[in-house]
Amino acid sequence: MAERKPIESWLTDMDGVLIHEGVPIPGAAEFLKALRESGKPFLVLTNNSIYTPRDLQARLARMGLDVPVDNIWTSALATAKFLETQRPGGTAYVIGEAGLTTALHDIGYILTDHEPDYVVLGETRTYSFEALTRAIRLINGGSRFICTNPDETGPSTEGPLPATGAVAALITKATGKDPYFAGKPNPLMMRTGLNAIGAHSETSAMIGDRMDTDVLAGLEAGMETFLVLTGVTTPADIDRYPFRPSTVVDSIADLVDRI
Annotated active-site positions, please? Answer: 13, 15
Q: Nearest to residue 117, comparing CAs of 96, 90, 137?
A: 90
Q: Which residues contact 39 (CB under 8 A, 6 or more apart)?
A: none
CA dist 20 and 149 (Å) reads 20
CA dist 123 and 18 (Å) reads 20
- In the 8-state DSSP scheme, what is residue 15? B
Give the CA angle between residues 113, 116, 118 to the nearest 5°.
Answer: 115
Cβ-contact 55, 79 below 8 angstroms: no
The single-letter code of the amino acid at 161 is L
CA dist 161 and 152 (Å) reads 8
